[in-house]
Amino acid sequence: MIDPKALSSTAGYGEAADALAEQYESVSFADVHCDVLHLFPSRPSAILDIGAGSGRDAAALAGQGHVVVAAEPTAELRALGQQIHVGRAIEWVDDSLPEMRILRSRGARFNVILLTAVWMHLDEPQRSSAMKRIADLLAFEGRVILSLRHGPVPAGRRMFHVSAHETIELARGHGLSVVHLSERADPHGRQDVHWSYLGLQQETAAD
């Protein structure tokens, strides 16, 4: 058995990009994020989709009038996303956790940072570093909307078993409080997979 730490966080995604894009696009943004739709702003806002994959979520959010940056480090998925959602006002960047070097170098700030099925690809030291980077990229009173996959690790992929509790405690250490926590079955119908959905918000100093 391959030690997941020996693999890169994007292992297996480039080779399977076509099949993965088809899988991602087979369910809608609203169906995948039904538990947390209320956390997205109703007014046009700056949104960062980290690990944007095929661009399903980025395209839906751009269609709602948001200014969307899609960060996707897998070149094959990034190219497919640009092709599938051509015409959508999405800025695609080759950037990734834990460093987010490109967006940090710009001094970018976002009202919402979305991480769909991303966090489990990072090992413990990377998660600690990544949470700080995410907090630094948030605008005042910004939110993080994050999903955690629980279940068997697909062959050739790098994933770790990460609990909602661990993620919440890590977020609190970087000035983020919990505004939502829910569990749900897999939207693709896999019986051995379930998800945690978290909403985190930047804490503000007391008056």
pLDDT digits (tens, 9 = 90+) for 64-92: 999 999 999 989 999 999 999 999 999 99
pLDDT digits (tens, 9 = 90+) for 91-142: 999 999 999 999 999 999 999 999 999 999 999 999 999 999 999 999 999 9
Q: Buried b vs exposed e over 56-83: b needs ≥16 C-beta within 10 Å?
A: bbbbbbbeeebbbbbbbbbebbbebbbe
- Beta strands at 194-202 and 176-185: parallel, antiparallel or unpaired: antiparallel
Structure tokens at 189: 């119908």
> Quick count: other Cβ atoms within 10 Å of Cβ 167?
23
pLDDT the model gives residue 199: 98
pLDDT the model gives residue 129: 96
Instruction: Identify the weakest region by mean pLDDT among 1-5, 55-59, 77-81.
Output: 1-5
Residue 140: partners with Cβ closer than 8 Å, 6 or more residues away: 202, 204
> Domain 4-202's class?
alpha beta
pLDDT the model gives residue 10: 55
pLDDT digits (tens, 9 = 90+) for 4-37: 455 455 544 666 788 888 888 999 999 999 999 9
pTM given for the model: 0.90
Whole-number Å distance between alpha carbons of 130 and 64: 28
